[in-house]
Amino acid sequence: MKISRVEVVTTLVPVVFGRHQSQMPVVIARIFTDTGIEGVGHTFSANPEFQRSLSSMVRELADLLVGEDPRRIEHLAAKMLYPANWVGPGGLLNIAATAIDIALWDIIGKDSGQPLWRLLGGFSDRVRAYQSGMALGGPPDSLQRQAAELVAQGHRAIKMRPNHERHARVGEVAARVRAVREAIGYDIDLMYDVNQAWTPSRAIRVGRALEEFDLFWLEDPTLMHDVEGQAAIAEALDVPICSGEYHYNMVSLLPLLKSRAVDYLMVDLCRMAGVTQFRKVAAMAEAFGIPVASHLVPEIFAHCIAAVPNGLIVEWMDWTAILFDGLPILEDGALLLSERPGHGLTLLEDEVQRRRVD
pLDDT given at position 135: 59
310 and 166 together in one domain: yes
Interstrand relation of 157-160 and 356-357 (parallel, antiparallel or unpaired): unpaired
Our CA dihedral for 135, 139, 143, 149, rounded to 10 degrees, sits at -100
pLDDT in tens, 313-348: 999 988 898 999 999 999 999 999 999 999 999 999
CA–CA dist 105, 119 (Å, integer)? 9
Nearest to 176 by CA among 187, 161, 186, 189: 161
Q: Is the dihedral of CA 324, 328, 329, 332 positive or negative?
A: negative
177 and 40 together in one domain: no
Q: What is the pLDDT along the chain (358 residues), one digit of tens a residue?
A: 999 999 999 999 998 766 667 889 999 999 999 999 999 999 998 888 889 999 999 999 999 999 999 999 999 999 999 876 677 778 899 999 999 999 999 999 999 999 999 999 999 999 999 998 665 667 788 889 989 999 999 999 999 988 767 788 999 999 999 999 999 999 999 999 999 999 999 999 999 999 999 999 999 999 999 999 999 999 999 999 999 999 999 999 999 999 999 999 999 999 999 999 999 999 999 999 999 999 999 999 999 999 999 999 999 988 898 999 999 999 999 999 999 999 999 999 999 999 999 7
106 and 165 together in one domain: no
Assign residue 185 the CATH number of its domain: 3.20.20.120
93 and 216 together in one domain: no
Give residue 85's domain range: 3-114+348-357
275 and 335 together in one domain: yes
164 and 264 together in one domain: yes
CB within 8 Å of 344: residues ≥ 6 apart: 115, 116, 326, 337, 338
Contact indicator for 91, 131 with CB cutoff of 8 Å: no
98 and 140 together in one domain: no
199 and 242 together in one domain: yes
- CB-neighbour burial class of residue 240 (10 A; exposed 0-12, middle 13-18, buried 19+): middle
pLDDT given at position 192: 96
Which ranges of the chain would DSSP assign to H, the alpha helix?
51-65, 73-81, 91-112, 116-119, 140-152, 170-184, 200-210, 227-236, 250-258, 275-287, 298-307, 349-355
110 and 121 together in one domain: no
pLDDT given at position 340: 98
pLDDT given at position 143: 87
Total domain count, the chain: 2
pLDDT in tens, 108-130: 999 999 999 999 999 999 999 99
pLDDT given at position 87: 76
131 and 158 together in one domain: yes
CA–CA dist 326, 222 (Å, integer)? 37
pLDDT given at position 21: 76
This prediction has a pTM of 0.95
162 and 304 together in one domain: yes
216 and 336 together in one domain: yes
Q: Quick one: how far is CA 121 from the chain centroid?
A: 19
Assign residue 73 the CATH number of its domain: 3.30.390.10
